[in-house]
Each structure stands twice: as structure tokens, then as C-alpha cells.
Structure 1
Amino acid sequence: MVTLNKIYTRTGDGGDTGIVGSYRLSKHHPRIAAIGDVDELNAAIGVAMQADLGDALRGMLLAIQNDLFDLGADLATPETQKGELRLAPGRIQKLEEMIDEINDKLPPLESFVLPSGPGGAPALHLARAIARRAERSVWALKELGEPEGKVSEPVPTFLNRLSDLLFVAARKASRDKGGEVLWVPGGASGE
């Protein structure tokens, strides 16, 4: 368990920040950017959970928030640190099961869904978009090559599946509260 007695340390005032193992990186390093995007994603899911989503979906999202803390710890821990917390590869399969559980109860899509709608759908769509950005940040980190850009194998795949889960969750939230808002090509032009 983590104990924090003092919130400010002043150690980051010079533009760098610490990660596990006494390593310090620039606050604009791709690893720190990826960690920040995952943190923002987790907060966005917390906001989405304030809507009336039902106990089952809320429980799924709470489990995912815990997974995202594991994923953030994974990103903050260089591969040279053995025995540290890593995202469990089995969590990808769990996401796929959640996606199937929700999606099996939804009708097939006949149009793109606008990131709108009733219930918690807009907040879930926002979290989905942030998940996509976090995934892009992780891939940018991986492009640095080893060892600097080393990322645990399940991390980018987990974020990819999570964005899919958030999409079907948004569809469900909309449908539970009155219906999805579908894209009408050229519909805004009045033609």
C-alpha cells in the first residue's frame, strides 16, 4: 500500500519528475506524457461513473480504474526493476469478455454514432477519445526503441480494447436512456 504524508515535494520544480527506481525524466518525456494521458483517462472514467449507468457497468468501470492504476505503475517502472507491479496480460481477455457481454445485447450498427446522447454516453465517449490518445502516446514511447521506450506487451493492447469497451458502454448508456444519436451524412447541410 502507498502512504503519502506530504503531497508537495518540490522535486519537480525544475522540469523533471521521478519514476520508480530513482530515475528522473523530463516532464515532457514521452513516458511521462503516456502516464499523464492514462491518468486523464482514469479521471474521465471517474466522471462518467457519476451518471446513472447501472451497477453492472459501474462495477466494470471501477475494475478498469484499478487496472489503469496498475497500467500507470507499469509505465512508471523501467523494465530493469524486477518484481514490480505490471498490468496482468489476462486483463485484456477480461476486457474482451466485458465488450462481448455489453455488445451482445445491442443491435448492429447501421450508421456511425455521434459522441452525444442521453445518460452518461457523452462522458463515456470522451473517455474513449482519451483512451485513443493514451494508446497513441504509448506507441510514441515504444518508437523510442529499447531500453528507453520499453513498454510491457499488454499495455498498448489493453488501451486499444478499453477504447472499444468505452464505445459499447456509451452505446448501452444511450440506449438505456432513450436512444443513440446517429450520424446523418450531410444532415447538417439541410439538403
Structure 2
Amino acid sequence: MGNRLSKIYTRTGDDGSTGLADGNRIAKNAQRVEAMGTADELNSHIGVLIETLPSGDELIETFRRIQHHLFDLGGEFAIPGSQVIGDEHIEWLEQTLDHHNESLPPLKNFILPGGTAATAQCHLARAVCRRAERVVVALGHEDSINTASRHYLNRLSDLLFVIARQLARQNGGQEILWEQKKSGL
């Protein structure tokens, strides 16, 4: 690990730029910085989700692993050209997704976020994950990226959706289904 910050403020970003891990400086509103920030935001939402789960819940370990992956993903964006997320990460997500989807009934309606605090937080993390994927797609249009990172975010949003469905059913709960007739005024 490189140098640790002993002083949190440096004033080097006061001009609207930020430093990448490779030493280059870029504008704070650059697409690469947006990708780093959105991965960090998603990681934070998953941290909140973990805190809504009861101690010892098996999902905690899954979500902690995902948090480590997201930290690595942010590192990829901070070092242009680096690749940390690979096919094995995507395969793990797919296996985890299949495992959690096995017990769920087929989806026949759209689902509204909510039902329990954990379910709502999982849906919020899913929505941020979808935004992170869009940001990474945009970054890929202007710079070279590791396409596995984009694939990872796509699978992760699917996993978060499936886990939200599971969380809604815990303790006798149920999903909140969208009803078209309630959409009218």
C-alpha cells in the first residue's frame, strides 16, 4: 500500500482538479472521477444495507465481499489502464445470483421499492448501481476501460434486485407490486 494520508486536507483540489492514483491530475467533473465517485456511493449504500440486516445474516458476508470488489473497481478507475475486476468476479456474481433466485417465484408484475427498510435500501443500492453502470458506459465512450467492470455492475444490479425480492419476503413479508390502475389521477 502506498503512502497514507496523515493530513486529510491538501488544498490541491481547490482548483477543481483531483489526483488519480497514477499521479495525473484531472478535472473533478471528469467522467472518470464520476465513475470513481459513483462506485464509492454504491459501496456506501451497501454499507447502509448491511446495517439494516440482523447480526449473523448470511447476506452480510456476501455484501462485504461486494464492498471489497467495489473498492477495487474504484481503484481501476483511479488508475487508467488497470484491471482488477475479471471474469471470476462476474462468475461469482452469477453463481450468487442463481443461488438467491432459486427460491423466488417467477416475476409477473413490476415491483415497487419498499416493504421493509432492508428491501428499500437494497432497491436504492440497485438504482445507484444502474447509474454507476451508465457512468461507466459513458466513460468507455471517451476512454479505454476494462469491460469486465461494466459487466460486473450489470450483474450486481441484477443480484441486488433478486436479493431485494428475497428481503421483502422475510418474516412473512411480501413484495409491493405496481398496480397500473393506481397510476391514474
Q: TM-score, normalised by structure 2?
A: 0.93
Any conservation in 2 of the 1:119–1:173 contact (CA below 8 Å)? Answer: no
For the residue of structure 2 that corresponds to 1:25, the secondary structure is: strand
Partner of 2:112: 114
Q: Which residue of 1 aligns with 2:71?
A: 69
Provide runs of 4+ in structure 1 moved above 3 Å.
none
The answer for the alignment partner of 2:28 in structure 1 is: 27
Counterpart Cα distance in 2 of 1:89 and 1:29: 27
1:126-171 deviation per Cα after TM superposition (whole angstroms, max 9, x unaligned) = 0000000000000111111xxxx11112110000001001001111
Q: Could you state the TM-score of these two structures normalised by the residue count of structure 1?
A: 0.90
The one-letter code of the counterpart of 2:151 is T
Give distance in 2, aligned partners of 1:93 and 1:4.
Answer: 35
Q: Which has the higher helix share?
A: 2
Identity %: 44
In the alignment, is residue 157 of structure 1 matched against residue 159 of structure 2?
no
Q: Give the drift of 1:119.
A: 4.3
Provide the rounded CA distance (Å) in 2 between the counterparts of 1:46 and 1:32: 21
Matched residue SS, 1:60: helix
Question: Per-residue deviation at 1:17?
Answer: 0.2
How many residues are treated as equivalent by the alignment? 182
Q: Which residue of 1 is the match for residue 138 of structure 2? A: 140
Quote the residue 1:182 is aligned against.
Answer: 177
C-alpha RMSD of the superposition: 1.6
Q: Distance in 1 between matches of 2:99 and 2:58?
A: 11
The 2-side partners of 1:107 and 1:25 are apart by 47
Structure 1 residues without counterparts, runs of 5 or longer: none
1:16-74 deviation line (CA, Å, top 9, x unaligned): 00102211110010100111111110001111111126621111111000000011001
Q: Report if aligned partners of 2:49, 2:121 keep a CA contact under 8 Å in 1.
A: yes
Alpha-carbon distance in 2 for matches of 1:136, 1:189: 30
